[in-house]
Structure 1
Amino acid sequence: MKKWTLSALSLLTAATLVGCNSSSSDEDGKGGLETSMQVAFMPDIHFHDIYGDFEDGAFDGLPNSASGEGATIRTMASQMGSTRLFNENYFALLAALDDIVDRGIKYVALPGDFSDDGQPVHMRGLVKIFDTYREKHGLEFFAAPGNHDPNRPFIQPAGKDDYLGEGGLKQPIYSLEHDKCVNPQQPIDREDSHSVICSDEVVHWGYKDIMSILGAHGFYPQEQYLYFETPYSSDEARQNYSFDVAMKEADYTNRMYEICHEGTGGGYKEEGYTSCSEVPDSSYLVEPVKGLWLLAIDANVYRPVEGSVGGEANPNDYDGSGNAGYNMMLTHKAHVIDWIRDVVKAAKEQNKTLVSFSHFPMTEFYNGASEDIEDLFGEGKFQLSRKPDEETSKALAATGLSVHVGGHMHFNDTGMKQYVINGEQHTLFNIQAPSLAGYIPAYKVLNIRPDNQIEVETVIIDKVERFNELFEHYEEEHKHLTDLAGNDEEAKANIWNEDILKSETYYELTDWHIKELTRLRFLPGDWPVEMRHMIMNMNGDDMLIMSQIETDFTVCQLAEELGIDITGCAALKNSDWEQFKADWAAATAKAEAIAQDNGLALEDFAQWTGEELAVDFYRLRNADELAFRDIDPAVLPQYKVLSDELSEFDGTIDSEIGDLGDYSVGDVFKSRFGSLFVILDKFATGNASDHFLIDTENQTLTDLKDATERELMK
């Protein structure tokens, strides 16, 4: 195994950084950016080749009347239960690349999850598209891996049970060594599923195959690059750059490092570290045009399972990297963090403009609302496990890195963290680029200028040709699900809304996606039960009244009166319903007066439901200020009134209530929804995230929009 230590790396860089990359620098040592360059950043494509060919002939797909081809797609039910679309983003990618071509942009960075688990059939389709746009339009792609590409470091058996088959039934497809194929006697719901198809077209490729097939799109040096290095490049390669040496040193076999269950191996290994094995790392630095350095960080951390052997023969001996991120990068890929520090130093010495990208965020992505979210919804909800710790962000800022573009969350957001480290101020700008596969479909364009300024623009992909090409198959699926549900009203309620198929644009489809996710997944899975019942049974006027109510009536008493079953509520006696109605009437009069004082009427609040509030909540969480385009402007002032009224409540309700009979319905509502509106307000009032300017020299961020609707929430 290649040995490397922190001290060795430090000696290397101290001796060579000033002279490194000599072929890309002018003789006078100045190799700076001479003109503005635009780079598009498109994370989380989650590409699925809907018309991909199974080379083994195992599956021909569903005959599509519009294309004349066989469609290999996932069910609409699976799409409406996932944070990403699996199928229509195929068309969104083509539309986004066409938009990039129209803008004259030549460089496209892919901060991870460019695939949806790295299956051969889909990877071939993705590379075909990249090759086409390179050959026809001169685009250059630079990929960094995400937790879905690869799913684990090495190739592993895999598959899905929710491809869409004939008659609207599910079609399971698994690889040959998967248990579903090795043990075909496993039970299958014959009413809802065809028998399993076995094909190695759906294995999960590991690094070796993914890096190979995408080698010309970032992972390996190309002759037109002015410079290319990895964390494992030699002193000689850095000092006297040549394509041949770079190509040799960038070989897959040279980009392995040791990782242990407890932390980084190799020269970083500490006494007592166990379950160590070698895995690949695909990080690289590339200079595609004079003066611009793009730092592609492989931020995947696949920690060995305790007591495991690991290696290619044991691909399941590693944890997934989805929740690891930079918190675990510091402990388990420490050598890459040190390499980042070296790259930053070299960039400064050689006057290079450095922009980094990876799949994972480097800063908090909830506009400072993470603690409020955890208090309200509980530990582990809202993907909080993916949030970098404050100390992690500080350590990353301490490397000197300034600008980073991340993905993973499918959020539009801008993080800006400032720290004084050793008497010097460091500012880390983390640009969260949204996904084309969800709400709101968009990508980021960075206009990188020679004067240390970067203009960031968010490009929304609205109209997408052919986006409804697969709807004929979903119609058949919906009919099958409806027939299967029969007279079961609960089963019917859990079927995706058929009105989705009336979407007139891809943008409208993604809005349906966030609405169905809220209804089918987020509300049932994330929200406390009493809060969920409240929001699903209240309109805005009810909420304003509840913000004013003074009553001893408990949540359990109200649930019993309304026939709602809440776990933890025992049967109650002598509920004073008449007194509660009197309390409600008094609160109604107060609510009417408050509405009038704000130039509104209580009836205005009745125009929106609690479920619509929940959808707006998730719109703002995902899209930040972009979401204002879809929130009724008349509703925003009403949210503000509610937020102000609820902010006056100074009581506390434990997040784990236990015996709801101990708390009045008014106090529970005010506590829960007061916190909800605090979070909503933070979602709506963070850093500029649509169109803004970063000045790395002055360490400032300036909103370039004249005015935004989010000011209504301030």
Structure 2
Amino acid sequence: MKTVLWGKWVVGMVAGLLLSGCGADAVKTELPEPDNQEKAQEVQIAFLADIHLHDFLSAAENLDASELPVIADTRTSDQSTQGAQTPVLMRSMQAQLNSTRLFNENYFVFLAALDEIAAKGIKLVALPGDFSDDGQPANVRALADILAEYTDKYGMRFFAITGNHDPVRPFSRAGGKKDFLHRSGKEVAVMSPDHPDCLNQSAWQCSNALREWGYADIMETLKSQGFSPSSQDLLYETPFGTAEVSKRGWRWCDPESKSGESNSTEESNQIEESGKSCIFMPDASYLVEPVEGLWLLAIDANVYTPKGKVSSLEFNGSGNAGYNALVDYKPELLDWIAGVVKRAEKHNKHLIAFSHFPMADFYDNTQKQLAELFGDTGMQLKRMPSASTTQILSDLGLRLHMAGHMHLYDIAQPEDTGGLVNVQVPSLAAYQPGYSVVTLNNDGSAQVDTIIQQQVDRFDTLFPVYAKEWQYRNQAGLINWDKTILDTPDYLGFTDAHLKEVVRQRYVGREWPQPLATFIQSKTVGDALETLVCGNISRVTDEALLAMPAITLANDYYRMRNAGQFADLGGREVIYERLSDATLHCELPETAPVQTQQVRRFVKLLSNVAVSRDVTSITVKGV
């Protein structure tokens, strides 16, 4: 077993940490030499990222339902019970209007997307992480049941890989939320029995269904969805020489600890090694060949950095770690990936990699502008892969990587990545909701098309419950949301209304620099554009746009950032594209107020995003 001194891999990481592979050599599968036969044509794989499934029906089971909201149950085919009132455990509208994603309607759009994919005849579906809300038993089991139903009915196969929400931490822990809805419309806490709020009896109700599962339970429950080999697979391997879940991972050790500091138990994942306290850090990565000629490389890019000694079993979440941390914490995983790429080329296989985290820039080269305006850690810039990280990944030889995590659609082109194409698959639970389909071609290329989920039946099922919530908050004098969101006629309109409320309450409301936020909240578009073109705005736009509230610019920025050319701006994108040229002969004096400088920077950013909106499809060569 090879052991590597942590300090040699990266300066400034956890002092003295040791990393070793656990049977790190890949399975040495002997494959036949490539022949001259053409690969099968029209193999298609759908990618559904960031589903964040919360099954509000299953989660309500085993709770005292007397004060839970109720809806008409439409799941049963029994005519005698259809429409019967059934309890639900659902998050509040207030909560989801402060998040980058929806919490409840995910259930309906997930089923709609699966129905649409099935109707297209696509049999292979990959899930690049965050397939559940927070890895709770109720939601992971619900996901497994739903996927099994589509497998039985349509012959579809599913291949999942882990995200930062599943698991939230590598090992199971207490969970729950404090913003579930009571029947009256108020928010209540429902936690797992081992959560402090249940132990001190302050939680409204307690349920084991809301624990946050770790790797072992999630992978076992979803073993038929890619985490274990199937008899249908032509090839299945992991970086660890085994498919056994308990043996797939890395040993991380505290070399300075004394023998006897930790106990060796399965429950704690602590082990003794040469007098050192160590832990076994799971890794769910795998390679599968579901049909002849296609290799799907599922990369577990989660990195849960230790809080101090690894033997304390205290870890940070993986949300901001991504591949910047992976290149330091999982070097042997990179070695395995490089070997997979070489074997794929040797044996004439299409190789598509997918994982939860982006491998390349997802903000269309606007990172510098964003940092100047919102700070180095604003706009989730902590999640941006560095140029050196992207180069390391590109040097592995990967040509196509499908990612999630950011809840937006983006394509990083080869000229910006050294050859790697990184596609950010949009979330079904955010603006604009969609999924991506990769079609393999005989010439060794792949066509990547992203589809917006237009039709979602029953998306408004929970609206009557939200109406009670709004009424409760209004009567209680609480911060409230815009009730017109309940008037949206379709799911696309609902996600747009959701985005606008997140912009109002969270982005502009709390996260933007105060001078810029104050301007956007109180001025017009015309006021903003005057700062950009020194008052000469008639040649750039029309009176209708100039009279709109300035927050329209903020809404449109996030629409374009999240959806590229899928964003529906009513034609305003053409005007935004022209703004860049309008600034060429207009310079602000250095003494201009901070607010004016910030507004000008933002409008320039808006223009750059409009110009660089991502196309809706791309052909990738050499896949």
TM-score band, normalised by the shorter chain?
Answer: 0.7 to 0.9
Quote how far apart the aligned CAs of 1:525 are.
Answer: 2.5
Q: Which residue of 1 aligns with 2:576?
A: 639
Matches within 5 A, 1:81-96: 81-96=98-113
2:246 is matched with which residue? 253
Change (3 A) 1:382 1:652: farther
1:148 equivalenced with 2:165 (yes/no): yes
Aligned positions of 1:559-708 closer than 5 A: 587=535, 591=536, 594-595=537-538, 597=539, 603-627=543-567, 630-633=568-571, 635-651=572-588, 663-665=591-593, 668-669=595-596, 671-686=597-612, 688-696=614-622
| TM-superposition CA deviations, 1:362-398 (whole Å, max 9, x none) | 0010000011100111121100000000000000011
Give the 3-state SS of the residue equivalent to 1:481 in structure 2: helix
1:527-577 deviation per Cα after TM superposition (whole angstroms, max 9, x unaligned): 21111111222112223334465xxxxxxxxxxxxxxxxxxxxxxxxxxxx
Residues 174 and 192, structure 2, Cα contact 8 Å, conserved in 1 = yes
For structure 2, the residue ranges without an aligned partner over 5 or more in a row are 5-18, 75-84, 256-275
1:677 shift after superposition: 2.8
1:48 paired with 2:54, answer yes
> Pairwise mapping of residues 26-425 of structure 1 onto structure 2 (< 5 A)?
33-52=39-58, 54=60, 56-59=62-65, 61-65=68-72, 67=74, 68-184=85-201, 196-233=204-241, 249-259=242-252, 276-310=278-312, 314=313, 317-418=314-415
Equivalent residue for 2:515, pick from 530, 550, 558: 530
Distance 1:478-1:389 versus aligned 2 partners, 3 A rule: same
Asked if residue 499 in structure 1 is aligned to residue 496 in structure 2, the reply is no
Given that 1:261 and 1:303 are in contact with CA atoms closer than 8 Å, whether structure 2 keeps it comes out as no
Give 3-state SS (helix, strand or coil) of 1:300's partner: coil
8 Å contact kept, 2:172–2:214 = yes
Question: Which digits, 9 at most, give the CA deviation of each residue in 1:263-285, with x for residues without a partner?
Answer: xxxxxxxxxxx985211100000
* Compared CA separation, residues 352 and 183, structure 1 to 2 (3 A): same
The answer for the alignment partner of 2:264 in structure 1 is none
Question: CA contact under 8 A between 2:533 and 2:586: conserved in structure 1?
Answer: no
**Quick one: distance in 2 between partners of 1:31 and 1:332?**
40
Q: Deviations over 1:614-658 (max 9, x none)?
A: 10011111111111xx2121x3344345443345444586xxxxx
Counterpart for residue 577 of structure 1: none
Task: Give the superposition deviation at 1:131.
Answer: 0.5
Rounded Cα–Cα distance in structure 1 between residues aligned with 2:416 and 2:546: 46
Name the amino acid aligned to 2:249: M
Query: Are residues 461 and 260 of structure 1, via their aligned partners in 2, closer, same or farther at CA, if it must alter by over 3 Å?
Result: farther
Deviation string for 1:493-528 (max 9, x for gaps)? x41111111111011100001100000000023221
Structure 2 vs 1, CA of residues 300 and 516 (structure 1 numbering), >3 Å: closer, same or farther? same
> Which stretch has the larger CA shift, 345-354 or 250-259?
250-259
Structure 1's 260 and 10: CA in aligned 2 closer, same or farther, altered over 3 A?
Answer: closer
Where does 1:426-505 land on structure 2 (aligned, <5 Å)? 426-485=418-477, 491=478, 494-505=479-490
Distance, in Å, in 2 between the alignment partners of 1:260 and 1:324 is 20
What is the root-mean-square deviation of aligned Cα atoms in Å? Answer: 2.7
1:119–1:205 CA contact under 8 A, matched in 2:
yes
Number of positions where the alignment pairs a residue of Structure 1 with one of Structure 2: 579
Distance in 1, matches of 2:94 and 2:367, equals: 30
Unaligned runs of 5+ in 1: 187-194, 234-248, 263-273, 421-425, 486-490, 550-586, 654-662, 698-714
Identity of aligned residues (%): 38
Task: Provide the C-alpha distance between the structure 1 equivalents of 2:412 and 2:514, rounded to a whole number of angstroms.
Answer: 32
Question: How far is the alpha carbon of 1:75 from its aligned partner?
Answer: 0.5
Distance 1:546 1:349, change over 3 A: closer
Once the two structures are overlaid, the 10-residue window that deviates more, 475-484 or 536-545, is 536-545
Aligned counterparts of 1:31 and 1:295: Cα–Cα separation in 2: 23
Residues 652 and 223 (structure 1), Cα distance of their counterparts in 2 relative to 1, 3 Å cut: farther
**2:454, 2:492 within 8 Å by CA — same for their partners in 1?**
yes
User: Using the alignment, how far apart are the partners of 1:647 and 1:526 within structure 2?
Assistant: 30
Name the aligned partner's letter for residue 472 of structure 2. H
Query: 1:240 aligns to what?
Result: none
Larger Rg: 1
**Residue aligned with 2:239, SS:** coil
Which deviates more from structure 2 when the two are superposed, residues 637-646 or residues 465-474?
637-646
- Separation in 2, partners of 1:664, 1:498: 39
Contact 2:60 2:89 in 1 (8 A): no
Specify the SS of the correspondent of 1:69: strand
The amino acid that maps onto 1:359 is: H
State the SS of the aligned residue for 1:393: helix
Structure 2 CA distance for aligned equivalents of residues 102 and 168 of structure 1: 38
User: C-alpha separation between the residues in 1 aligned to 2:24 and 2:206?
Assistant: 53
- For the 8 Å contact 1:394–1:419, the answer to whether it is kept is no
- The 1:261–1:36 alpha-carbon spacing in structure 2 relative to 1, beyond 3 Å, is farther
Q: Residues of 2 paired with 1:548 and 1:387: CA distance?
A: 31
CA-to-partner distance for each residue in 1:189-238, whole Å, 9 max, x for gaps?
xxxxxx521111100000001000100010000101111000011xxxxx
Equivalent-residue separation in structure 2 for 1:44 and 1:674 (angstroms): 34
Asked if the contact 2:25/2:336 (under 8 Å) is kept, the reply is no
Map Cα deviations across residues 130-167 of structure 1 (whole Å, 9 max, x no partner).
Answer: 01000000110000000000011110011100111120
Shift of the alpha carbon at 1:303?
A: 1.3
**Do the aligned partners of 2:233 and 2:289 also contact (CA within 8 Å) in 1?**
yes
Measured in 2, the distance between the counterparts of 1:275 and 1:303 equals 16
The whole-number CA distance in structure 2 between the counterparts of 1:399 and 1:111 is 20
Aligned pair in 2 of structure 1 residues 652, 345: CA closer, same or farther (>3 Å)?
farther
1:293-340 Cα offsets, whole Å, 9 max, x none, are 000000000112113424xxx4xx111000000000000011111110
- Work out the CA distance in 2 between the residues paired with 1:80 and 1:90: 17
More helix by share: 1
Structure 1 pair 258–9 and aligned structure 2 pair: CA distance change class (3 A): closer
1:688 positional shift: 3.9
Secondary structure class of the residue paired with 1:279: strand
Q: CA deviation at 1:53?
A: 5.1
Measured at CA, do residues 642 and 683 of structure 1 come closer, stay the same or move farther in structure 2, by a change above 3 Å? closer
Deviation at 1:88, TM superposition (A): 0.5
Query: Is contact 2:22–2:247 with CA below 8 Å preserved after alignment?
Result: no
Kindly indicate whether residue 501 of structure 2 is the aligned counterpart of residue 516 of structure 1.
Answer: yes
- Indicate conservation of the 8 Å contact 1:81/1:521, yes or no: yes
**What does the per-residue CA deviation read over 1:437-496, in whole Å, with 9 as the maximum and x for residues that have no partner?**
0100000001112311111111111221110011110010000000001xxxxx5xx411
The question of whether the paired residues in 2 share the 8 Å contact of 1:258 and 1:278 is answered with yes
User: TM-score, normalised on structure 2?
Assistant: 0.87
